[in-house]
Amino acid sequence: MMHPVAEYAISALLLIGGAFTLVGAIGLARLPDFFSRLHGPTKATTLGVGAIMLSSVIYFSASGEGIGVSEILVTVFLFITAPVSANILAKAAMHIDVPPAEGTRGKPWEQ
Amino acid sequence: MLDRLTFPQPWLSLSLFLIWQFLSEGVSGGSVVLGLVLAWAIPQMTQGFWPERPSLLKWWRMPGYLVHVLRDIVVASFDVAALILSARQPRSAFVVYPLELTDPLAITVLAGTISLTPGTVTVDVSDDHKSLLIHALDAETDEEVIHSIRNRYERRLLEMFE
Protein backbone atom coordinates (compact mmCIF):
# COMPACT_ATOMS: atom_id res chain seq x y z
CA MET A 1 0.00 0.00 0.00
CA MET A 2 1.46 3.30 -1.08
CA HIS A 3 1.34 6.46 0.95
CA PRO A 4 -1.46 8.77 -0.28
CA VAL A 5 0.93 11.72 -0.58
CA ALA A 6 3.09 9.69 -2.95
CA GLU A 7 0.03 8.76 -5.00
CA TYR A 8 -1.05 12.39 -5.31
CA ALA A 9 2.47 13.44 -6.27
CA ILE A 10 2.70 10.71 -8.92
CA SER A 11 -0.70 11.60 -10.39
CA ALA A 12 0.11 15.32 -10.46
CA LEU A 13 3.47 14.72 -12.12
CA LEU A 14 1.92 12.40 -14.72
CA LEU A 15 -0.71 15.03 -15.55
CA ILE A 16 1.88 17.81 -15.79
CA GLY A 17 4.10 15.63 -17.95
CA GLY A 18 1.24 14.66 -20.22
CA ALA A 19 0.07 18.26 -20.54
CA PHE A 20 3.52 19.51 -21.56
CA THR A 21 4.01 16.69 -24.05
CA LEU A 22 0.62 17.53 -25.56
CA VAL A 23 1.53 21.22 -25.81
CA GLY A 24 4.79 20.21 -27.52
CA ALA A 25 2.80 18.21 -30.07
CA ILE A 26 0.38 21.11 -30.63
CA GLY A 27 3.38 23.36 -31.16
CA LEU A 28 4.73 20.95 -33.76
CA ALA A 29 1.46 21.24 -35.67
CA ARG A 30 0.78 24.95 -35.17
CA LEU A 31 4.08 26.81 -35.45
CA PRO A 32 4.79 28.38 -38.84
CA ASP A 33 8.16 27.04 -40.04
CA PHE A 34 10.70 24.28 -39.57
CA PHE A 35 12.94 26.21 -37.22
CA SER A 36 10.20 27.17 -34.78
CA ARG A 37 8.72 23.69 -34.96
CA LEU A 38 12.02 22.40 -33.62
CA HIS A 39 11.20 24.16 -30.35
CA GLY A 40 7.98 22.22 -29.78
CA PRO A 41 9.18 18.64 -29.52
CA THR A 42 12.65 19.39 -28.13
CA LYS A 43 11.56 21.79 -25.41
CA ALA A 44 8.09 21.48 -24.03
CA THR A 45 8.83 17.76 -23.97
CA THR A 46 11.99 18.30 -21.93
CA LEU A 47 9.82 19.22 -18.99
CA GLY A 48 7.15 16.70 -19.99
CA VAL A 49 9.47 13.71 -19.99
CA GLY A 50 11.24 15.08 -16.92
CA ALA A 51 7.98 15.12 -14.96
CA ILE A 52 6.98 11.63 -16.13
CA MET A 53 10.40 10.25 -15.17
CA LEU A 54 10.17 11.90 -11.76
CA SER A 55 6.79 10.28 -11.16
CA SER A 56 8.34 6.92 -12.07
CA VAL A 57 11.18 7.52 -9.61
CA ILE A 58 8.65 8.32 -6.85
CA TYR A 59 6.55 5.27 -7.74
CA PHE A 60 9.41 2.78 -7.48
CA SER A 61 10.87 4.45 -4.40
CA ALA A 62 7.51 4.49 -2.61
CA SER A 63 6.65 0.92 -3.50
CA GLY A 64 9.93 -0.16 -1.93
CA GLU A 65 11.72 -1.50 -5.01
CA GLY A 66 14.77 0.64 -4.40
CA ILE A 67 15.25 4.18 -5.67
CA GLY A 68 14.94 4.39 -9.43
CA VAL A 69 18.49 5.25 -10.42
CA SER A 70 17.90 4.02 -13.97
CA GLU A 71 15.03 6.50 -14.49
CA ILE A 72 17.29 9.33 -13.42
CA LEU A 73 19.91 8.07 -15.87
CA VAL A 74 17.32 7.94 -18.66
CA THR A 75 16.45 11.58 -17.94
CA VAL A 76 20.11 12.55 -17.91
CA PHE A 77 20.71 10.82 -21.25
CA LEU A 78 17.66 12.50 -22.71
CA PHE A 79 18.87 15.91 -21.54
CA ILE A 80 22.27 15.25 -23.10
CA THR A 81 20.98 13.94 -26.43
CA ALA A 82 17.98 16.26 -27.04
CA PRO A 83 20.13 19.35 -27.74
CA VAL A 84 22.41 17.35 -30.02
CA SER A 85 19.54 16.09 -32.17
CA ALA A 86 17.96 19.58 -32.27
CA ASN A 87 21.31 21.00 -33.34
CA ILE A 88 21.81 18.41 -36.09
CA LEU A 89 18.24 18.91 -37.40
CA ALA A 90 18.70 22.69 -37.48
CA LYS A 91 22.06 22.37 -39.19
CA ALA A 92 20.65 20.01 -41.81
CA ALA A 93 17.75 22.40 -42.44
CA MET A 94 20.18 25.28 -42.87
CA HIS A 95 22.31 23.21 -45.21
CA ILE A 96 19.45 22.48 -47.61
CA ASP A 97 18.15 26.09 -47.34
CA VAL A 98 14.82 25.50 -45.65
CA PRO A 99 13.18 28.94 -45.77
CA PRO A 100 12.40 30.55 -42.40
CA ALA A 101 8.86 31.86 -41.86
CA GLU A 102 8.04 35.33 -43.06
CA GLY A 103 8.76 37.95 -40.44
CA THR A 104 11.74 36.08 -39.02
CA ARG A 105 14.45 38.57 -38.15
CA GLY A 106 17.98 37.77 -39.23
CA LYS A 107 18.89 34.81 -41.41
CA PRO A 108 21.05 31.70 -41.31
CA TRP A 109 24.63 32.45 -42.18
CA GLU A 110 26.67 31.15 -45.08
CA GLN A 111 30.02 29.62 -44.41
CA MET B 1 47.96 -5.15 -28.89
CA LEU B 2 48.72 -4.84 -25.19
CA ASP B 3 49.53 -1.14 -25.45
CA ARG B 4 45.91 -0.53 -26.41
CA LEU B 5 44.75 -1.97 -23.09
CA THR B 6 44.91 1.45 -21.47
CA PHE B 7 42.35 3.88 -20.16
CA PRO B 8 43.21 7.19 -21.86
CA GLN B 9 40.43 9.00 -19.97
CA PRO B 10 40.18 7.48 -16.50
CA TRP B 11 37.27 9.69 -15.40
CA LEU B 12 35.22 8.88 -18.48
CA SER B 13 35.95 5.17 -18.01
CA LEU B 14 35.00 5.32 -14.35
CA SER B 15 31.69 7.08 -15.06
CA LEU B 16 30.86 4.63 -17.87
CA PHE B 17 31.58 1.71 -15.56
CA LEU B 18 29.41 3.11 -12.76
CA ILE B 19 26.57 4.05 -15.13
CA TRP B 20 26.60 0.49 -16.51
CA GLN B 21 26.32 -0.95 -12.99
CA PHE B 22 23.31 1.28 -12.30
CA LEU B 23 21.66 0.32 -15.59
CA SER B 24 22.09 -3.42 -15.01
CA GLU B 25 19.75 -5.25 -12.71
CA GLY B 26 22.05 -5.43 -9.73
CA VAL B 27 25.83 -5.78 -9.73
CA SER B 28 26.91 -9.25 -10.85
CA GLY B 29 29.96 -10.89 -12.40
CA GLY B 30 28.53 -10.36 -15.87
CA SER B 31 27.75 -6.69 -15.39
CA VAL B 32 31.24 -6.03 -14.01
CA VAL B 33 32.90 -7.74 -17.00
CA LEU B 34 30.70 -5.97 -19.54
CA GLY B 35 31.17 -2.69 -17.65
CA LEU B 36 34.94 -3.07 -17.87
CA VAL B 37 34.75 -3.85 -21.59
CA LEU B 38 32.60 -0.76 -22.20
CA ALA B 39 34.79 1.42 -19.98
CA TRP B 40 37.74 0.37 -22.11
CA ALA B 41 36.15 0.34 -25.58
CA ILE B 42 34.09 3.55 -25.59
CA PRO B 43 36.96 5.92 -24.69
CA GLN B 44 39.14 4.15 -27.30
CA MET B 45 36.49 4.67 -29.98
CA THR B 46 35.71 8.27 -29.10
CA GLN B 47 39.27 9.38 -28.45
CA GLY B 48 39.46 11.20 -31.77
CA PHE B 49 36.49 13.39 -30.87
CA TRP B 50 38.04 14.83 -27.73
CA PRO B 51 40.24 17.72 -28.80
CA GLU B 52 42.52 17.52 -25.80
CA ARG B 53 42.19 16.88 -22.11
CA PRO B 54 38.87 18.31 -20.95
CA SER B 55 39.51 21.45 -19.00
CA LEU B 56 36.77 21.62 -16.40
CA LEU B 57 38.76 23.41 -13.76
CA LYS B 58 36.17 24.15 -11.09
CA TRP B 59 34.00 21.08 -11.43
CA TRP B 60 32.43 21.57 -7.99
CA ARG B 61 30.48 24.50 -9.43
CA MET B 62 28.75 22.15 -11.91
CA PRO B 63 25.89 21.01 -9.61
CA GLY B 64 24.97 24.63 -8.90
CA TYR B 65 24.98 25.36 -12.63
CA LEU B 66 22.75 22.33 -13.32
CA VAL B 67 20.23 23.40 -10.67
CA HIS B 68 20.21 26.89 -12.19
CA VAL B 69 19.60 25.46 -15.69
CA LEU B 70 16.87 23.08 -14.44
CA ARG B 71 15.04 25.97 -12.81
CA ASP B 72 15.26 27.94 -16.04
CA ILE B 73 13.94 24.97 -18.03
CA VAL B 74 10.86 24.80 -15.80
CA VAL B 75 10.18 28.55 -15.90
CA ALA B 76 10.80 28.90 -19.63
CA SER B 77 8.71 25.81 -20.46
CA PHE B 78 5.66 27.61 -19.13
CA ASP B 79 6.44 30.63 -21.32
CA VAL B 80 6.78 28.49 -24.45
CA ALA B 81 3.62 26.52 -23.60
CA ALA B 82 1.71 29.81 -23.20
CA LEU B 83 3.09 31.05 -26.52
CA ILE B 84 2.09 27.86 -28.36
CA LEU B 85 -1.44 28.03 -26.97
CA SER B 86 -1.89 31.76 -27.56
CA ALA B 87 -3.19 32.98 -30.90
CA ARG B 88 -0.44 35.45 -31.75
CA GLN B 89 2.34 34.65 -34.16
CA PRO B 90 5.76 34.10 -32.53
CA ARG B 91 8.44 36.70 -33.32
CA SER B 92 11.17 34.31 -34.42
CA ALA B 93 14.71 35.49 -35.03
CA PHE B 94 18.13 34.20 -35.94
CA VAL B 95 20.60 35.72 -33.52
CA VAL B 96 24.37 35.66 -33.89
CA TYR B 97 25.78 35.28 -30.41
CA PRO B 98 29.40 36.46 -29.95
CA LEU B 99 31.19 33.97 -27.70
CA GLU B 100 33.48 34.95 -24.86
CA LEU B 101 34.30 31.31 -24.09
CA THR B 102 37.20 29.76 -25.98
CA ASP B 103 37.37 26.22 -24.58
CA PRO B 104 35.67 23.72 -26.96
CA LEU B 105 34.07 21.72 -24.14
CA ALA B 106 32.72 24.90 -22.56
CA ILE B 107 31.25 26.00 -25.89
CA THR B 108 29.60 22.59 -26.24
CA VAL B 109 28.07 22.88 -22.78
CA LEU B 110 26.83 26.40 -23.54
CA ALA B 111 25.34 25.29 -26.89
CA GLY B 112 23.61 22.36 -25.17
CA THR B 113 22.27 24.63 -22.45
CA ILE B 114 20.89 27.06 -25.01
CA SER B 115 19.15 24.21 -26.85
CA LEU B 116 17.75 22.72 -23.63
CA THR B 117 16.23 25.91 -22.31
CA PRO B 118 12.92 26.39 -24.09
CA GLY B 119 12.71 29.21 -26.60
CA THR B 120 16.19 28.97 -28.07
CA VAL B 121 18.02 26.38 -30.23
CA THR B 122 21.68 26.47 -31.14
CA VAL B 123 21.80 26.08 -34.91
CA ASP B 124 25.52 26.28 -35.64
CA VAL B 125 28.95 27.17 -34.36
CA SER B 126 31.00 29.43 -36.62
CA ASP B 127 34.11 27.86 -38.12
CA ASP B 128 36.41 30.11 -36.08
CA HIS B 129 34.57 29.18 -32.83
CA LYS B 130 33.86 32.84 -32.14
CA SER B 131 30.09 32.91 -32.42
CA LEU B 132 26.98 30.76 -32.20
CA LEU B 133 23.97 31.01 -34.48
CA ILE B 134 20.84 30.77 -32.34
CA HIS B 135 17.23 30.49 -33.40
CA ALA B 136 14.98 32.19 -30.87
CA LEU B 137 11.31 31.25 -30.97
CA ASP B 138 10.02 34.50 -29.59
CA ALA B 139 12.29 37.47 -29.02
CA GLU B 140 11.56 41.16 -29.07
CA THR B 141 15.16 42.16 -29.76
CA ASP B 142 18.42 40.32 -30.46
CA GLU B 143 20.09 42.16 -27.59
CA GLU B 144 17.60 40.69 -25.15
CA VAL B 145 18.52 37.13 -26.18
CA ILE B 146 22.27 37.81 -26.12
CA HIS B 147 22.05 39.61 -22.80
CA SER B 148 20.12 36.84 -21.04
CA ILE B 149 22.43 34.07 -22.29
CA ARG B 150 25.51 36.09 -21.37
CA ASN B 151 24.34 36.77 -17.84
CA ARG B 152 22.61 33.50 -17.07
CA TYR B 153 24.97 30.91 -18.50
CA GLU B 154 28.15 32.14 -20.15
CA ARG B 155 29.35 34.07 -17.07
CA ARG B 156 29.03 30.96 -14.94
CA LEU B 157 30.75 28.76 -17.52
CA LEU B 158 33.59 31.28 -17.82
CA GLU B 159 34.12 30.98 -14.08
CA MET B 160 34.14 27.20 -14.30
CA PHE B 161 36.36 26.69 -17.32
CA GLU B 162 38.75 29.62 -17.49
Residues B86 and B147 in one domain: yes
Q: Is the pLDDT of residue B25 over 80?
A: no
Task: Tell me the sheet residues that pair with B121.
Answer: B135
Same domain, B63 and B134: yes
Q: How high is the pLDDT of residue A15? A: 94
| Cα distance between residue B122 and residue B120, in whole Å | 7
What pLDDT is recorded for position B58? Answer: 74
A 10 A CB-CB count for B6 gives 12
**Cα B92 to Cα A106: distance, rounded to the nearest angstrom:** 9
Please name the residue ranges forming H helices in B47-133: 62-85, 104-116
Percentage of chain B modeled with pLDDT above 90: 0
Domain annotation covers residue B157: yes
- Model's pTM, two decimal places? 0.80
Do B98 and B154 have their domain in common? yes
Q: Minimal Cα distance from B133: which residue of A?
A: A108
Same domain? B37 vs B88:
no
**B54 within a domain of the structure (yes/no):** no
Per-residue pLDDT tens over the stretch A67-83? 667 778 888 888 888 88
Chain-centroid distance, C-alpha A47? 5
Please give the Cα distance from A92 to B82 (Å, whole number): 28
Q: Do B22 and A79 touch (CB under 8 A)?
A: no
> Does B130 fall in a domain?
yes
Nearest-by-Cβ selection for A86 from B19, B89, B115: B115
Residue B12, domain extent: 2-49
B43 within a domain of the structure (yes/no): yes
Binning pLDDT at 50, 70 and 90, where does residue A111 land? Answer: low
Is B11 part of any domain? yes
Do B13 and B83 fall within a single domain? no
Distances (CA, A) of B14 to B2, B10, B11, B36, B48: 20, 6, 5, 9, 19
DSSP state for residue B25 in the 8-state scheme: S
Q: Could you give the ipTM of this predicted complex?
A: 0.77
> Would the CB atoms of A40 and B90 count as touching at under 8 Å?
no
Residues B40 and B65 in one domain: no
Is B56 touching A (CB cutoff 8 A)? no
Residues B20, B80 within the same domain: no
Report the residue from A44, A90, A100 with minimal CB separation from B121.
A90
Chain A residue with Cα closest to B114 = A83
Structural domain count of chain B: 2
Please indicate, yes or no, whether residues B77 and B9 belong to a single structural domain of this protein.
Answer: no
Letter for the amino acid at B4? R
Confidence of residue B119 (pLDDT cuts 50, 70, 90): confident
Output the CA torsion B14→B19→B22→B23 (10° steps).
Answer: -140
**Identity of the residue in A46, A50, A83 whose CB atom sits nearest the CB atom of B111:** A83
